[in-house]
Structure 1
């Protein structure tokens, strides 16, 4: 039985905007259920926040997100994780980079690196750090 991992992002009120942005970059289908939809509203101001959401694409891209309710502790933190997007087509990775870079802080430009034909790192407007690269053959 195959096992897969999916990056799950936690926000405080920005999950829907983040998922919509990632869908605009990577394509795919966006699904989102709010606290109101689930009947679990703890704070009326948070009724339309996302309790479960995802973007899933036919190309294999998959990311999940939710909004942590204000009565629970949450801290964006500093680099608690990176989301890595790796492909073998430089044009495709470059196109994704261009879309993702809008409104982001580029931490390392997308350019050739010692270990990859292209590698770059940015932190988007939602505080998520993305690493994009073109896979290089491993020569042990």
Structure 2
């Protein structure tokens, strides 16, 4: 069994996918708009160019995404974070800066007792990220 995150971007899915493609070298594997649905009256016409379903890859991870119901007063995603670890501190700094651009830094990059460099941020699309330098597994 595999669990995959399914992210709802509330009308900004394609913008988010392009951002992740630029910043994280994400690969868009599948992109379907509501207008591509075999059930044309599924959503009102203003949703035609919105993303019904997308799949994209960051590193070895596959994520899914949608514009959802594009509700104007929808709350940003909450209750989860996406986490990435890298062996190189410079890569962590670079990606942290790029992902936080237009977003919010929740915990600035700094050494912690669990990582030589770790920080958290919420990107411009409301997605929470934990980013750090990987540490060797503890033998026990």
Give the TM-score normalised by the residue count of structure 1: 0.83
Structure 1 residue runs of 4+, over 6 Å off? none
Give the gaps of 5 or more residues in structure 2: none
Give the TM-score normalised by the residue count of structure 2: 0.83
Q: Are residues 123 and 28 of structure 1, via their aligned partners in 2, closer, same or farther at CA, if it must alter by over 3 Å? A: closer
RMSD after superposition: 2.2
Q: Are residues 70 and 20 of structure 1, via their aligned partners in 2, closer, same or farther at CA, if it must alter by over 3 Å? A: closer
SS in 1 for 2:97: helix
- Provide the residue aligned with 1:66 in structure 2: 66
> Higher strand proportion, which one?
1
Q: Distance in 2 between matches of 1:46 and 1:135?
A: 41
Q: Distance in 2 between matches of 1:13 and 1:39?
A: 21
- Provide the residue aligned with 2:45 in structure 1: 44
- Provide the residue aligned with 2:92 in structure 1: 93
Q: Distance in 2 between matches of 1:126 and 1:70?
A: 13
Give the gaps of 5 or more residues in structure 1: none
- Provide the residue aligned with 2:13 in structure 1: 15
